A and B are shown apart, each in its own frame.
Chain A
Amino acid sequence: MSSEKRLSAPAGLLIDREKPLSFSFEGKQYHGFEGDTIASALLSNQQWMMSRSFKYHRPRAPLTMAGQDANTLVQLGGEPNVLADRQMASEGMYIEGQNYKGTLEGDKDAYLGNFGRFMPVGFYYRSFFKPMGVWDKWEGYIRKKAGLGKIDLDFKPEYYDKKYLFTDVVVIGSGPAGMSAALKAADAGAQVLLVEEMPLLGGALTYNRFDIEGIQADSLRHELIEKVTSHANIEVMTDTVCNAWFTDNYLPLIKGKRLYKLRAKECIVASGAYEQHVVFRNNDLPGIMLCSAVTRLMKLYAVKPGSKAVVLTGNDDGYLTALELLDNGVEVSAIVDLRPQHPWPELLGMVKQKGIKVIQNSTVYEAIPSKGNKHITAVDIRTIVAEGEVSAMGSTLECDLLCMSAGYMPAYQLLCQAGAQLSYKDELAEFQLSGIPQGIHIAGSVNGLHTLDAVVSDGTNAAIRALHNLELSDETEQPVSCQAKPNFSWPIFSHPKGKDFVDYDEDLQAKDIVNATRLGYRDVQLVKRFSTVGMGPSQGRHSALPTARLVAKSTDRTVTQTGVTTARPPFAPEKLAHVAGRIFDPRRHTAMHHRHLELGAKMIAAGNWRRPAYYGDAAQRDRWIREEAEHVRSKVGLIDVSTLGGIELRGPDAAEFMNRIYTFVFLKQPVGRTRYAVLTNEHGVVIDDGVACRITEDHFYVTATTSGVDRVYREMTKWNAQWRLDVDILHVTSAFAAVNLAGPDSRKVLEQLVSDVDLSPEGFPYLAYREGKVADIPARLLRVGFVGELGYEIHVPARYGEALWDALMAAGKAFDIKPFGVETQRLLRLEKGHVIVSQDTDGMSHPGELDMTWAVNRKKPFFIGCRSVDIVMAQPQTRKLVGFILPTDSTKPEEGHLVLKGDRIAGNVTSCEYSSARQAIIGLAYADIADSEPGSKISIRVDGEEIKAEVVTLPFYDPENLRQEM
């Protein structure tokens, strides 16, 4: 049974030995326990290989056991690219390897590794760009060879969502620094959120050995967890990744299927440090792991990582790892120390006492693989003779496990996103962070501190700084010092035969980085883009430091000058589902919305609104529009215009305000009358239009376009914040439901429902405004109607909208009333030559181009854009919006088709539709000013064909406007 293979407790902090489980990997059944990751369960069964590398298809096994490398990416059912060392195993899982041909064990593409010298850095860019189009042929092949995982096209969406969170202090990372910081802040009364990526609190305390006896970590961990979990002011989130830092401490936290958007007043980053690998030949073989990965395997999962180990280290932590291995029954053949000097005497003494050979000033120069590079079998150890150089001869040691540690790189990503800088301390061979912005604090090993005492004090200090900002404490910080120097300055031993990997994700060797600089890519950002270093899933967690060192050396600059590439969000891979889950897409429905659905309307979007385009199936669109239009022209139709914008202006200065906002004059507009209102912006461009009703001397009700009303309202309120007129501006779009009852029989329909308004042509003439009751519903009645027939716009409080619609449809039944949609209304308006602002206008359209000068008054002192209108109108006009017609059998131009003047583009078609009233195709287009007179011909390019259309006088229909004024 697998339990017998496991180390005995207390090893295995995460696994529950009472709960065995099994799953399938590559078609074979494996056993593990609840709490195991896929990787730990596989390793406990001696299954090391989990993936094939990206380019050379080399066997790969876990490197970090913490989800920080791409070696453990597997296919989990339909989900590709799952990190096997982070994903919990569960009963019945179906797991496969990725990126191989045939089987993972016998990948037929493994031969690619032998062709490494034909695939130098930048190989794709340099090989597949000529002749033009060749990449299209190669792409499919290369993607197959270098692809990661398979997408399940039949997948069923799951429920992912988002939630906001708020706290005084967030602490990222629950290691000794993070927990100390959380406790200090919480004790002072701050609300604290402690965020931990792993399933359990403790950070390095859960796996690292800090002392010779190996007891310190556990006792401190128990003590801190006890305090943290019992503290009323601390909320703990485990299994949670903080994936970015955004302005003002806005942090996305991913836990399970939810993306939390945290807003924290103060942010303490105690994110720890990444242990670094040593660059030597075959440093990617299964069986070669970071020291921290090996201790994680043993302490968290009780997996014995091998039987005979070699430790390669540039610091004392390697020695402690060796002791940990011994305690767990792993033989340690030797500690190979990169440094010439010894560790602290007691540690050295203990190691020697245990019989471990210590080889100073040496490195592993090459790892010797088994057949097919499946596992490490031995190491070739050489003496270091100069930086990166080794003696010609060495000795070989057999082993099935190599643990390595070249030092640490701070987990700098969040801090650099916040604006902190990384600078390299040559004397420590370490990157350190500086320039931490306001509201963010750094603590622990990310701050370059490595001894437990220093880390704990640093956490407390970070909390004190946060408490100062929150005005919860005036305590002073205690000085912290740390003598540890865990980074070896040059752990890179390039081998003439290569496979000395700097970046495992992208199969990049030391020479690839150097070659990139030789090809002229000196900047580390360019080196990244050319070589792809740091672009893989681990995002430079291990490659950034050696790359910076290599680039610095080969370009004769300091490592600080070289730097690392920008660490943009997200910090860890995140699923699109986290971003896409529960997105809000507001819909606005008018009061009559359901009536339209019941009548079979084809609904279309108009901003957030949904409006009927026409009533009927989309397949017969042209027919429905034609029939609806003919019905309005001959009988009576009803359209829902509730989406029309509405604004009320009230107060002694209402008329003065109207006069300044719109181009026309409004001071003397009579009460009970409507007036067309055009709005230009400060550039003199027409941006909106509507109808202004003067309800009383100091009360205007003005409409605006559906899509323009928000902008108009904002402009109005902004102008009056400056002008200080005595006027109240109220946005009332949603307050009113409105319909346009149009057609020769519309008066007869309305007469059925209205008793308190004189509807006769004399009593309620064209362009008049009345108030009364329609079917007992209080209503505002406007005798306008851009469709060019007798018509009434009826506006009622929105709550009555549906009842109004029902009443009109019922009263209209005797007159064969039919509803019509927006597309029909557009055709009817087009027949009348009415411009639809934003459909028939663009960012240059001034009133002169639109034949709207009649609506512009230049005698009044001011309107918005008046001076610009003066200036553009004084210039020779180059284009004009004209009406054109084409015979019915002509090709029909579409909106946007170009109008040509010789070789030159003169304008474009803005509206075009077949008009049965005119028995022709009619349209509006911008034409050259020379072609704008009726009778001129304009050339319209329609799908390559040039069509000659005739310019005609507007409107197309009822030029004397007799019908609308009936």
Chain B
Amino acid sequence: MKIINCPLNGPRNSSEFVHGGEVRQMPDPNNCTDKEWADYVFYSDNLIGVVTEWWLHAPSGYWFIAERHTGSDEILRTYDPAEIYTSRVEFKAKEEPSASEEKTA
């Protein structure tokens, strides 16, 4: 069984962790095109290389980020999400309908 090094709890068996998918940048949900949104929700590059992923240490409920090579399955680095999510996220209201309708047409 693989060992994952949790930034809070240290090295633990992978069975203590839950995978949370790749770290992705959400497009502006109210103003992006349908295609941009579908890309975000449904498509994954699935390349051999280093991916940045969410992992949860289930017993402590702690989410962190891991950089993992999908070829070797080696985890290169793990860190607290605060390293990249540094400030409060706000959502903009919808723009005027005319603009978005054009995009979705």
Please list the residues of chain A having a beta carbon within 8 angstroms of any beta carbon in chain B.
Answer: 246-248, 250, 263, 660, 682-683, 713-714, 717-718, 721-725, 731, 861-862, 866-868, 871, 874
Contacts and interface: CB of A to CB of B under 8 A. Distances in A.
Contacts of A723: 85, 88-89
Interface in B58-84: 61, 63, 73, 81-82
Contacts of B91: 660, 861-862
A867 B91 CA distance: 13
Contacts of A867: 29-30, 32, 37
Nearest to B65: A721
Contact of A861 (B56, B61, B94): B94
B99 interface: no
A714 B18 contact: yes
Given A721-B81, A722-B89, A862 B20 contact: no
Contact of B1 (A247, A717, A725): A247
A871 B2 contact: no
B29 A721 contact: no
Complex A-B, nearest 10 residue pairs according to Cβ-Cβ distance, in ascending order: A862-B91, A867-B29, A861-B91, A721-B81, A723-B89, A248-B3, A247-B2, A861-B93, A721-B63, A724-B88
A868 B37 contact: yes
B85 A246 contact: no
A717 B89 CA distance: 14
Given A248-B1, A248-B2, A731 B61 contact: yes
B63 A717 contact: yes
Contacts of A717: 56, 61, 63
Contacts of A248: 1-3
Contacts of A871: 34, 37-38, 104
Contacts of A724: 82, 85-89
A235 B89 CA distance: 55
A866 B29 contact: yes
Nearest to A866: B29
Nearest to A871: B34
A250 B3 CA distance: 9
B41 interface: yes
A851 to B, nearest CB: 24
B29 to A, nearest CB: 4
Given A248-B2, A713-B61, A868-B41, A718 B89 contact: no
B26 to A, nearest CB: 9
B79 to A, nearest CB: 12
A248 B74 CA distance: 10
A284 B45 CA distance: 56
Given A247-B1, A718-B20, 12 more contacts: A248-B1, A250-B13, A714-B56, A717-B56, A718-B56, A721-B81, A722-B89, A723-B88, A861-B94, A862-B91, A868-B37, A871-B34
A862 B1 contact: no
B14 to A, nearest CB: 8
A319 B73 CA distance: 49
8 contacts: A247-B3, A248-B1, A263-B3, A714-B56, A717-B63, A718-B56, A723-B85, A871-B104
A861 B92 contact: yes
A861 B30 contact: yes
A81 B86 CA distance: 62
A724 B80 CA distance: 13
A861 B93 CA distance: 4
Contacts of B104: 871, 874
Contacts of B82: 724
A721 B85 contact: yes
Contacts of B13: 250
Contacts of A721: 63, 81, 85
A861 B87 CA distance: 19
Nearest to B94: A861
Contacts of B88: 723-725
B41 A682 contact: yes
Nearest to B29: A867
Contact of A862 (B2, B30, B37, B61): B30
A683 B20 CA distance: 15
Contacts of B92: 861
A723 B63 CA distance: 13
B77 to A, nearest CB: 16
A250 B2 CA distance: 8
Nearest to B38: A871
A246 B94 CA distance: 51
A867 B29 CA distance: 6
Nearest to B1: A250
A423 to B, nearest CB: 21
B41 to A, nearest CB: 5
Contacts of B73: 247
A714 B61 CA distance: 7
B42 to A, nearest CB: 8
Nearest to B100: A870
Nearest to B80: A721
Nearest to A731: B61
A250 B89 CA distance: 41
B97 to A, nearest CB: 11
A861 B26 CA distance: 14
A396 B94 CA distance: 98
A725 B90 CA distance: 9
A246 B13 CA distance: 12
A51 B10 CA distance: 53
A682 B89 CA distance: 17
Given A718-B20, A718-B63, A246 B37 contact: no
A652 B38 CA distance: 33
Question: Which of A246, A247, A250, A862 is packed against the most chain B CB atoms within 10 Å?
Answer: A862
A722 B29 contact: no
Interface in B9-66: 13, 18, 20, 29-30, 32, 34, 37-38, 41-42, 54, 56, 61, 63
Contact of B29 (A247, A714, A862): A862
Nearest to A725: B88
Given A714-B18, A731-B61, A722 B85 contact: yes
A266 to B, nearest CB: 14
A836 to B, nearest CB: 25
Contacts of B63: 717-718, 721
A735 to B, nearest CB: 14
Contacts of A861: 30, 91-94
Contacts of A874: 104
A722 B104 CA distance: 28
A722 B34 CA distance: 23
A871 B36 CA distance: 12
A879 B82 CA distance: 43
Contacts of A725: 88
Question: Which of B20, B41, B93 is packed against the most chain A CB atoms within 10 Å?
Answer: B41
Nearest to A858: B94
Question: Which of B2, B29, B42, B63 is packed against the most chain A CB atoms within 10 Å?
Answer: B29
B60 to A, nearest CB: 11
A714 B85 CA distance: 17
Contacts of A713: 61
Nearest to B87: A724
A714 B41 CA distance: 18
A823 B42 CA distance: 37
A717 B13 CA distance: 22
A247 B74 CA distance: 10
Nearest to B61: A717
A253 to B, nearest CB: 14
A589 B63 CA distance: 28
A718 B54 CA distance: 8
Contacts of B38: 871
A918 to B, nearest CB: 41
A861 B95 CA distance: 10
Contacts of A866: 29-30
A871 B32 CA distance: 12
A263 B1 CA distance: 9
A250 B13 CA distance: 10
A368 to B, nearest CB: 53
Nearest to B21: A718
Nearest to B31: A867
